[in-house]
Structure 1
Amino acid sequence: MGRQIIAGEVAGAFGVRGWVKVRSYTEPPDNIVGYSPWLIGNEAARKEFKVVSGRRHGNWMVVCLEGVDTRDQALQLSGLKIFVDRSQFEPTKPGEYYWADLIGLEVRETSGRSLGTVVSMMETGANDVMVVQGERERLIPFVVGEFVKSVDLNQGVLIVDWDPDF
């Protein structure tokens, strides 16, 4: 398997037949059901589960996993992260990026000065924002062309036109 991405987390049991309630980190949330198998666990240990079916239930996804047949089994997964292999994601169009691919990139100002590393992404409504951690934290809008000048996933570098003092 390749690189593992956190796609959600098990929030608890749903019903008495082993279904789990899931907080999806995918957009749209239903996409998480299309990824299978899931590796459920933490950084130290994970167990593979095949997704049988799932559906949206309010703000949650409810999912049936192969081998999870009782409420007690479902409760044992509560609080654990759901990892999927990055290779399961649909290819992106030129100029489009998955947040998971941006996290960890070094951010450099157009002059070459390093501003730090993308540690997370935020959705603000107007545009996505990178949380960049270096000598201090910076919030930089992910607006290609205006602030983001280039993204090189192979080199692990993102070039921005950003005032380092801001």
Structure 2
Amino acid sequence: MEEYLQVGVITNTHGIRGEVKVFPTTDDAARFKKLKQVLMDTGNGYQEMEIEHVKFFKQFVILKFKGYDSINEIERYKQKSLLVDRAHAVKLKKNEYFIADLIGLSVYTEDGGHLGLLKDVLQTGANDVYVVEMEDKKEVLIPAIRECILEVNMEERNMQVHLLKGLL
């Protein structure tokens, strides 16, 4: 399992006073109001960034980091990922999982046959869709609904599914 979870990506600067525009990659952008700090993936490791204040603009989160007071100081961080450790991650309800933890699960059909590996999760709005890459490199799309997802076992890193008629 991933040690750190991505909560956003810096897309651009915002104004000239050191603020950045962040595209949230979390389901709840309002969680930024509760965060005191994030880790920035600089490409050469992680840098702890203390959040000074948070605003919201359209679908973006505007962040101001403590100690960065001009556009020149913050501009080099465009396109950098913002992460939190698991201790600061959102608490999950029963049968909820982080996408980063689902990627790579072995997927089996209800009769025990190996279907493939979970490669991606598409977020459609209505329900997520799991992209499973089969051994022949073809993909099958499985809706993340109770009728299809029978069991997820994170300890054994596998998932058991029921394939609705027409999915293959």
- Pick the TM interval, shorter chain: 0.7 to 0.9
TM-score, L = length of structure 2: 0.86
Unaligned 5+ runs, structure 1: none
Specify the code of the residue in structure 1 equivalent to 2:162: D
Question: Does 2:165 correspond to 1:159?
Answer: no
Q: Assess if the C-alpha contact under 8 Å between 2:42 and 2:80 holds in 1.
A: yes
Aligned residue for 2:14? 14
Which is further off, 119-128 or 70-79?
A: 119-128
| Aligned-pair CA distance for 1:97 | 2.5
Q: How many residues align?
A: 164
CA displacement 1:51-109 (0-9 Å, x = unmatched): 22212111111001122221012211101111211221232222222323322322111
CA distance in 1 between partners of 2:141 and 2:152 (Å): 17
Q: Partner of 1:56 in structure 2?
A: 56
Query: In structure 2, do the counterparts of structure 1 residues 17 and 5 end up closer, same or farther at CA, with 3 Å as the change threshold?
Result: same
CA displacement, residues 122-153 of structure 1 (integer Å, 9 cap, x when unaligned)? 12233110112232222110012x00000111
Separation in 1, partners of 2:86, 2:97: 13
- Counterpart of 1:30 in 2: which secondary structure? helix
The range that moved more, 125-134 or 75-84, is: 125-134
Question: Does the CA-based 8 Å contact 2:50-2:66 persist in structure 1?
Answer: yes
Instruction: State the partner residue of 2:79.
Output: 79
**Aligned mates of 2:55, 2:108 — CA distance in 1:** 41
Structure 2 counterpart of 1:49, one-letter code:
M
Cα 1:43–1:75 shift into 2, 3 Å: closer
Name which of structure 1's ranges 150-159 and 117-126 shifts more when overlaid on structure 2: 117-126
Greater displacement, 72-81 / 2-11? 2-11
CA contact (8 A) 1:35 1:84 kept: no
Give unpaired runs (5+ residues) of structure 2. Answer: none
> Matches of 2:42 and 2:115 in 1, distance apart?
30
Quote the Cα distance in structure 2 between the aligned partners of 1:165 and 1:123: 18
**How many Å apart are 1:42 and its aligned residue?**
5.2
RMSD value over aligned CA atoms? 2.2
